[in-house]
A and B are shown apart, each in its own frame.
Chain A
Amino acid sequence: MPSTQTPPIAGGAIDPPSLRPPIADARIERVDAARVRARLEELHAQGWTMLLDLGAADYPLRTPRFDVVYHLLKLSAAARTVAEVGTPERMRLLCGVEADDARVPTASDLWPSADWAEREVFDLFGIVFDGHPDLRRIQMPHTWEGHPLRKDYPLRGPARERSPRPAFALKSNVQAGVPPSGETLAALQEQRKKS
């Protein structure tokens, strides 16, 4: 919830990932949706064994609108000691996705762990992963409409309609003297007298 009285100060950066501060947290690469599958296959073959994370971000004013963000780690399953692991290489692959045809080929056959991550991105951003074996919503209910983590999705929903009061509690009925229970009527009339 917006907890402060002051309105948000938008930074105004339309494409923040392109404004790289000098932070060496990973090797960074950018691909478009058409080439991402080939690039992922290549990386998988090169020994990037772990798909550390798969997420997305929404930049509504930018073309392409979405980024699917892959974080990869070159970790050998045979590394039995800390020295053998060392500092494994880490890579961030940013894949731009168009707004009107938000589709990306799946990576779940290369890294099985992409399964739930892709379902989550599909659920919360509405990006479709072509070839995913079981693309269903994962966090939101299956009947949900809309994709909550998109920037144009409101933080709060409309005020919920209050459930209707039972007939005997309606003031008009109390006045007409048709409540099923005398007790409620007495209590309500008492209350009216007081007010």
Chain B
Amino acid sequence: MSSLSTTPLTPEIVSREGNTMVLSMGPQHPSTHGVLQLVLEIEGENVVNVDPEIGYLHTGIEKSAENLFWSQAQTVIERMDYLAPESNSLCYVLAAEKLLGIADRIPSRAQAIRVLFAELTRIASHCVWLGTHCIDLGALSVFFYTFDLRENILDLQEEAGGARMHPNYLRIGGCNGDLPEGFLAKLDALIEKFPGRMADLRGLLQANPIFQDRTIGIANLCANDAVAWNVTGPSLRASGVAYDVRRAFPYCGYESYEFDVPTRTEGDAYARFLVRLEEMEQAHRILQQVRKRLDEPGPVMIDDTKVAAPPKETIALSMEALIHHFKIVSEGFRVPPGDVYQSVESPRGELGFYLVSDGGNRPYRVRTRPPSLYNLQAIKAIARGNLIADLVVTIGSLDPVFGEVDR
């Protein structure tokens, strides 16, 4: 590939051949959505070469997870992609369930709740993306519209799991308790509010000439490059490839929901914007279908005391329940040895976990396939030849989350 960076652009090797100069952008630049350093080789205003420097947020989450119980590891894993915590835990939980061999015994209500939170978190994550993307472009007011909507979703997460950002509500074997009273009424209110808010956002941006000027024809990525650079999610679909893990490798009963996979063929920042907006609307469509399924009561946790701690009220009555509860709390559960790859469609693309168990009570290896890392890497192909000012649009339109890039 000609677009591969061949020489590391460290400040020590400042190349001043011709008229190029080396400029360091970040790691504290506000447009980098975290801590990303871009070492740029520029000729005037044009970017000749870009070398992203990552790792500033590396916290060793994989190593930590390998030293925690199977159920505890989920708490650190939720903190990888902090804008879509439920996508992370959902993927991990599904992979662990496959290794345990209980994947086909998860109650249908639990599956519906998982879909509910996966889609809520998709909307919330795209809200943050749109708000911050527009701030990068100088449009401050959009932020208030999107964060208002996101706040409603965080409220729902808090209702169900007890925490706004990292509820840790989805568990191996199901969910942590049924949805609380009053949750569905709030969900209904959100479902009703959503279309109006979406119309506001479209009205603010879609035909806005300033927004269009900044995004149409900027940060182009063709389908072949996108596939070669391993770009997934909305950024891949904006280049025309209709690959969506929810359709290609369905999980949690996604095959039984009606929704479209929006694609565009332009592959520019504006196409990614349109795809993400439409994805939010499709998520809303799925929410409506889930809402109907949630009317049916049912268990939300697998009936298997080897994996799921028995309900608290049985502990006082049954000796066995007490023993199972004590065992699971004090030493976790063992998972049969083997390895598995499981992926889900996170708001940023294909999030995958390659889990290895050696038969113990802690995951032996937790390898993440972080969509943000691969999507961000494509900036090397995208940014070449563009203006520095458009670099900000490029980063924004790829929507990387650095908790996940660096882990």
Contacts and interface: CB of A to CB of B under 8 A. Distances in A.
A85 B248 contact: yes
Given A16-B339, A25-B341, A75-B227, A8 B54 contact: no
Given A14-B358, A85-B244, A112-B4, 8 more contacts: A9-B331, A16-B357, A19-B336, A26-B341, A57-B367, A85-B241, A85-B243, A112-B381
B3 interface: yes
Contact of A155 (B54, B67, B230): B67
Interface stretch (A86-94, A171-179, A186-194): A86-94
A6 B331 contact: yes
Interface size class of A (residues with CB under 8 A): 35 or more
A126 interface: no
Interface stretch (A34-42, A47-55, A95-103, A159-167): A47-55
**Chain B interface, >50% SS class:** loop
A71 B354 contact: yes
Given A11-B364, A53-B369, A82 B341 contact: no
Interface stretch (B55-63, B178-186, B310-318): B55-63
A98 to B, nearest CB: 19
Nearest to A141: B55
A80 B242 contact: yes
A65 interface: no
A136 B55 CA distance: 12
B228 interface: yes
Interface residues of B, number: 72
A95 to B, nearest CB: 14
A139 to B, nearest CB: 4
A16 B336 CA distance: 9
Given A4-B331, A11-B337, A138-B55, A113 B229 contact: yes
A56 B364 CA distance: 12
Interface in A15-68: 16-17, 19-21, 23, 25-26, 49-53, 55-58
B51 to A, nearest CB: 9
Which of A55, A76, A115, A117 is the most central at the interface, judged by chain B CB atoms within 10 Å of its CB? Answer: A55
A143 to B, nearest CB: 13
A168 interface: no
B334 A11 contact: yes
A81 B369 contact: no
Contacts of A13: 337, 357-359
B352 A57 contact: no
A51 B55 contact: no
A76 B261 CA distance: 16
Interface stretch (B5-13, B202-210, B387-395): B5-13
B98 interface: yes
B46 interface: no
B234 interface: no
Across the A-B interface, the 8 shortest Cβ-Cβ residue pairs: A11-B359, A113-B230, A11-B360, A11-B358, A13-B337, A55-B367, A53-B369, A21-B338
A113 B242 contact: no
A81 B242 contact: yes
5 contacts: A9-B362, A23-B99, A86-B248, A113-B228, A134-B7
Interface string A111-124: 11101110000000
Given A6-B331, A23-B99, A80-B241, A112 B361 contact: no
A60 B373 CA distance: 28
B223 interface: yes
B247 interface: yes
